[in-house]
Structure 1
Amino acid sequence: MVTSRRLMLGGTLALPALAARAQDRPIQIHVGFAAGGNIDLAARMAAPFLEKYLGPGNQIIVANKPGAGGMLMLNEVAAAAPDGRTAALVSFPALVTALYDNTPRYRVDSFAYAGLLTDEPYTVFVGNDTPYRSLRDLVAAARAAPETVTIAGAGVGGAPHLAMMAIERAAGVKFTWVPTQGAAQAMQLVQGGHVAGSISTVSLTVRAHQQGALRVVAIMERERWDKAPDLPTGAEQGVAVVAGSARGFALPAATPPAIIARWEEAIARTAADPEFRGMAERDFVIVRHMDRPTMTRFVGDQARIYGEIWRATPWRQ
C-alpha cells in the first residue's frame, strides 16, 4: 500500500452559490500544461463536482495554458480579477521551484490556497522497444555512457525533473533531460522511440503499463502499491528515491474570504464524494485532501525545502 506523504483533513461548511454579479461568465480552472497530462486529467475529473458544490450558475471550463513549466499560467492567475471566477490547479513542487530558477511575476503569497486534492507518487517508465527491463538497466546504461540516456518530462525545475536529478544523485549517474510542455507530450516521445524514458505519476502511467503501451520500471515510493503490486520500487533496485506530485487549487490572493471559503468547501466535498472517489480509483488517481490552512502551511514548507535544495544544488545552470 502506498504510504501517505500528506496530511488529510476535511470540512463541512454550508455552501451558498458564488456572488451573482460574477456569474455572467464561466469559472476557468487554469492548468499550466498541455491537455492530456496527469494534471489536466485531474482538473477535468474534478470540474463537474466542483460545479455541483459551488452551486447553480457556476459552469466550469478547464483552460490549458502551457509554457515555462506552468509559470506563465501562474503569472496569469496571480494577476486575475479576484472574483472567484479564475482558479488554478497548481502542482507542487513546480509552483515553488519556479521562484528560484526563473523570474516569475508571482510569489508564494500571490495566491489564496483553497485546498489540496491529489498527491501521487511518480513512476519511471520506458518505451517497449528499449532494452531496459528495470531501473537497474536504465542506471547501468547511464553509468556506462553518461548523458546519452534521454529522459523527457514537463518543464525544467518541476517535480519530474527534480525526481530525475534525485535518481542521478542516488545512483551516481548522469542522464540528459528533455523538457516538454506536459506529461502527455513526454509520453508520446517515449512511445515514439524519441527518448529512452520519462517520469510521471501513477495515474498517467500504470494503466498504460498494464495495457502494454509502455513499461514502468519503478515506482518512486517507499513500498509497492497494492493496485499494481508487480511494480518494484526504486529502493528495491538500489535507488531509494521517493518523489511525487501534489495538486491543489489556488486563487488570486485578494479573493474575498467568503469566496475562498466556498471554494474550500467545494473541494472538500469533491474529495469526499463517493462518485468522484470511484472515478479516481478507476483511473489510478490518489485523492489526498488538505483544507485551506493545511495546504497553506504545506506550500510554505515546500518553498523552504526547495529553497534549501536550490542553494545547495541548483537544477538550472
Structure 2
Amino acid sequence: MARETPQVTTRRILVGGALALPALAARAQDRPIQIYVGFAPGGNIDLAARMAAPFLERHLGGGTQIIVVNKPGAGGMLMLNDVAAAAPDGRHVALVSFPALVTALYDNTPRYRVDSFAYVGLLTDEPYTVFVGTDTPYRSLRDLVEAARAQPEAINIAGAGVGSAPHLALMAIERAAGVRFTWVPTQGAGQAMQLVQGGHVAGSISTVSLTVRAHIQGTLRVVAIMERDRWDKAPDLPTGVEQGVDVLVGSARGFALPVATPAPILARWEEAVRRTANDPEFRALAERDFLIVRHMDRPTMTRFVEDQARAYGDIWRSSPWRR
C-alpha cells in the first residue's frame, strides 16, 4: 500500500475535524460542554467561569450548552489532571489559572505537563489585593507587616492551596518586608474570604474582582492593591508600593483543552473566547463586577504559559515555596 504524504494526512485530519463540528453542536443539548474550575464555588475563578459561560455558549453557537463543574483540591492540580486525561472532543475545558498551573509542576507530581493542553485564549488578568477582617486592628498593609514583625508567624493568612498564586504573593510580601506570616491553605478564595469574615484568620489575598466590592460594602477591609499605581475604579485603595512593600502580583485566567483536541474545535474555541472578551455585554458585566479583561489569542497565550513555567521554575530553584 502506498503511504500517504504528510499533506494528505493533515488534510484528512482537518476535514474529519470539520465534519465533527456539526455533530458536536447537534449533540450539545444532550451532552453539554463542561468548564472545569479547580477550586470551590464562590471564589474569583469560579465567578469568572460563571460570568463567561453564557457568552461562550452564544459565541460557540449551534445550541451549545455549558455547565461549570467545580473540582477543588491541591491548588487546582486535581482538576488539571482530569482535563489533561479527558476525551479530546471539545466538551472538557479547563478555566486555568496562573501561576497555579505551572507551580504544581515544581512542588508536586501532577499527571500533566505544560504541553498537555492546548491554550485557546486568555480572558482575564487581575492584580491581587491584601485584605483583612473588619474586626481586626489592621488599617493598612503597614499595620499588618509591623504586627508580623513584632510576632513572627503569629498572624494567619488564608488562601487557595500551597504554591498557589496567593501563597506565592504572600511569600513575596514576606521577602520584601522581612517578616513571616503563617499560611492557612483553603480550597479556594471563597472559603478564604469566609474565614476572614468569620474572624478565624486575620486576612487573605485575592483579586480585585472578589474583594473590592466587599470592601465597598464594608464586609472586609482591603489594605493594599498589589499594583504600581492606584486603580482608577477604587482610587482610595493604597498600593503596597506606597506602603514600602514593592510587590506586584496578580492572577491570569484562560481556557485550555486536552492537547489532542482536533484543530477545528480548538479554532472554534479560540474564536469564542475572542468574541466573549470583546462582547460589549460581557465587558459591561466585567466592569460592573471589577473583573479585568485581558485577552490573548492561542499563540500568545501559549507563549505566556511557557514564560510562566520558566519564570516560576527559576523561583522554585532559588526559593522553594514548599518545604
Q: Report if TM-score (shorter chain) is over 0.5.
A: yes
What's the TM-score once normalised by structure 2's chain length? 0.92
Rounded Cα–Cα distance in structure 1 between residues aligned with 2:21 and 2:276: 17
Q: In the alignment, which residue of structure 2 is the partner of 1:87?
A: 93
Q: Structure 1: give runs of 5+ residues left out of the alignment.
A: 1-14
Verify: 1:117 aligned to 2:120, yes or no: no
Q: Structure 2: give runs of 5+ residues left out of the alignment.
A: 1-17
Structure with bigger RCO (C-alpha 8 Å, 6+ apart): 1
Which residue, 113, 116, 127 being the options, matches 1:107?
113
Q: In the alignment, which residue of structure 1 is the partner of 2:246?
A: 240
Displacement over 3 Å in runs of 4+ = 15-19, 21-24
Verify: 1:126 aligned to 2:129, yes or no: no
Q: Secondary structure at the match of 1:232?
A: coil
Which residue, 179, 196, 201 being the options, matches 1:173?
179
Question: How far apart are residue 58 of structure 1 and its match?
Answer: 1.2
Q: Secondary structure at the match of 1:80?
A: coil
Q: Secondary structure at the match of 1:304?
A: helix
Q: In the alignment, which residue of structure 1 is the partner of 2:67?
A: 61
Which residue, 258, 271, 288 being the options, matches 2:294?
288
Q: In the alignment, which residue of structure 2 is the partner of 1:142?
A: 148
Rounded Cα–Cα distance in structure 2 between residues aligned with 1:142 and 1:88: 37
Moved more, 50-59 or 247-256: 50-59
Please give the per-residue CA displacement for 1:40-91, whole angstroms capped at 9, x wherever unaligned.
0000000000001111221000000000000000000000000100100000
Q: Secondary structure at the match of 1:123?
A: strand
- 2:23 aligned partner, one-letter code: A
- 2:71 aligned partner, one-letter code: K
Question: Cα distance 1:43–1:146, how it changes in 2: closer, same or farther (>3 A)?
Answer: same
Q: Is the 8 A contact 1:218 1:233 kept in 2?
A: yes
Pairing of 1:153-172 with structure 2 (within 5 A): 153-172=159-178
- 1:286 aligned partner, one-letter code: I
Q: Is the 8 A contact 1:17 1:56 kept in 2?
A: no
Rounded Cα–Cα distance in structure 2 between residues aligned with 1:26 and 1:172: 50
Pairing of 1:296-307 with structure 2 (within 5 A): 296-307=302-313
Rounded Cα–Cα distance in structure 2 between residues aligned with 1:214 and 1:115: 32
What's the TM-score once normalised by structure 1's chain length? 0.94
Rounded Cα–Cα distance in structure 2 between residues aligned with 1:175 and 1:111: 35
Question: How far apart are residue 17 of structure 1 and its match?
Answer: 9.4
Verify: 1:20 aligned to 2:26, yes or no: no
Question: How far apart are residue 211 of structure 1 and its match?
Answer: 0.4
Larger helix percent: 2
Rounded Cα–Cα distance in structure 2 between residues aligned with 1:299 and 1:189: 31
Pairing of 1:249-260 with structure 2 (within 5 A): 249-260=255-266
Verify: 1:96 aligned to 2:102, yes or no: yes
Question: How far apart are residue 27 of structure 1 and its match?
Answer: 0.0
Q: Secondary structure at the match of 2:179?
A: coil
Q: Secondary structure at the match of 1:157?
A: coil
Which residue, 165, 184, 188 being the options, matches 1:182?
188
Rounded Cα–Cα distance in structure 1 between residues aligned with 2:19 and 2:130: 43
Q: Secondary structure at the match of 1:297?
A: helix
Q: In the alignment, which residue of structure 2 is the partner of 1:267?
A: 273
State the structure with more CA Rg. Answer: 2
- 2:309 aligned partner, one-letter code: A
Q: Secondary structure at the match of 2:256?
A: strand
Rounded Cα–Cα distance in structure 2 between residues aligned with 1:136 and 1:158: 23
Rounded Cα–Cα distance in structure 1 between residues aligned with 2:162 and 2:22: 39
Q: In the alignment, which residue of structure 2 is the partner of 1:8?
A: none
Which residue, 195, 201, 207 being the options, matches 1:195?
201
Rounded Cα–Cα distance in structure 2 between residues aligned with 1:41 and 1:67: 17
Q: Is the 8 A contact 1:17 1:54 kept in 2?
A: no
